[in-house]
Structure 1
Amino acid sequence: MNIDLQALEARHPAAKPGAPAALRALNLQLAAGEQVAIIGPSGAGKTTLLQVLACAQPPTQGTLQLAGVNPWAQSVGALRALRGRLFLAPQVPPLPPRQRVVTSVLAGRLPAMGLWASLRSLFYPADIPAAYEALAHFDLGDKLFERVDRLSGGERQRVGLARALLAPARLWLIDEPLSALDPVRARMAMTALVGLARERQVTLVATLHQVDMALAHFPRIIGLRDGQQVFDLPPDQVSPERLAHLYDQHEHELRGEALPAALQELAPAAPAPVVMHCR
């Protein structure tokens, strides 16, 4: 699915009146089947961009076209059909806690299923081998019949990613997919997502805080800061100087630290231990 944004502006739904727009004068074109990583500091507008691309919120200015059409100029039925061709994986997947993993993964197919088939799938999973194969890409095949509330945060995040592999979508929108994963499983997840998107000619847009993962796995890197595009380059042209400019005053995010040095100095010191003397 190709994407075309022209002078697009969007506001976060929870933004206060008078607050700056989350996205400003954004121009972006993606060809069908491209894999793109969006990087930038917190508050850059990355999640808002995914929400706009997922047709979850309309732009306040400018134009958005997906597969050559303006979603917000379509009828209700046409917009619903278009949304069925999109897959949005939020950072914290909304998985019902008492549901079995197999059911949660097969829920990725719901946009292509009728009402009765959808209801039946809640009680009788229709394609267990497909669910197992999707989970196996993320090292979760052994969790097929576990309950979701018995999974760790990282396991739940990978179940959310496995849904994408079964969705009838031509555009995968993945928000911070590695936030709860250790380095080994993070590399596994990125390899699976990018490789399968390329193999299936699915357009993939992923937001990442892990700059090293973005540079290692994606052929195109877009830097956002304060709602505006700073650069749009292949990974070998994303120099340390460009990254330093992108993350100016947010160096702790680039280095993966909890707080920048200046803030660490201002942080309250840990209380001194209390020593008890017994007489």
Structure 2
Amino acid sequence: MTGECIDHKENPGLRVEPNFIDEREEQDTMLKLGTCQVDKHELAKELREVIRKYGFCFEAEMVHMQLMDAKGSTQDIGQNRSQRATGRPESRDDQVGIVAPWGYGADLDTAQLPKMVRKIVQRLTEKGYRLGPLRDCTINHRTGSFFMIHPHVDPLTDGPHVFVLGILSGAVLTFTPDGVAGRRGVEVEQKSWTDDDLDVLIRRRSIAAFTGDARYHWRHGIRAGMELKAPELGAHPVVCDFWGSMKYILPRKEERFSLVLAFADA
């Protein structure tokens, strides 16, 4: 099943709201007024500064990337160094992540969140979502059009209600049944992890909400993507993903932030 906006009545526990923020709120620009520059302080700029201060990536997470052509020949293109900032204490092997000042779980202090993030939390409440206290705020930053996330279930201690807001680029978030052995390698890019996967098209500035079965009984991830060259995509090859089938292609931008917010029950 695919679609830009999934109705929560037909699909309990899974919903997408397009244009949750507007273009002005997303932009990362400077306005020039005479000889002065006025910082517009929109979301992309704010998240970029948070990643600069608190972003980290464990060595084990630096995915080695290869480009494969239609004939099966591969070309090494280095490691992906995606970063995240979170108030959740994390460690991997002998590495310890940076803990952002807003904290985690019952100790999360919303007053310490970035200004625009606080506005987004407030907007969710104003839209009528029945939510308890915020328990997790994680900011992910990915570049090079490499947005891949291995299928996973978020930590159970985060909370039962998860929201993912994507900016600067759209993405296809794929839900795959938990406990099912899926495909690997190139087959994933051609057919997805399983035949029962659910592709959710999340256009730029849209927010996905999932709870219940979608939160606990399905894993979610993003495929690595395919580099395509076609006149309608411009002069240069573009990394794309598909949603539902190879007939429906989503071109990616170079960079993407995703803001993950998780709440307790009301």
**So what's the TM-score if we normalise by structure 1?**
0.25
Q: Which structure features the higher share of strand residues?
A: 2
Structure with bigger helix share is 1
Q: Which has the larger radius of gyration?
A: 1
TM-score, normalised to structure 2, is: 0.25
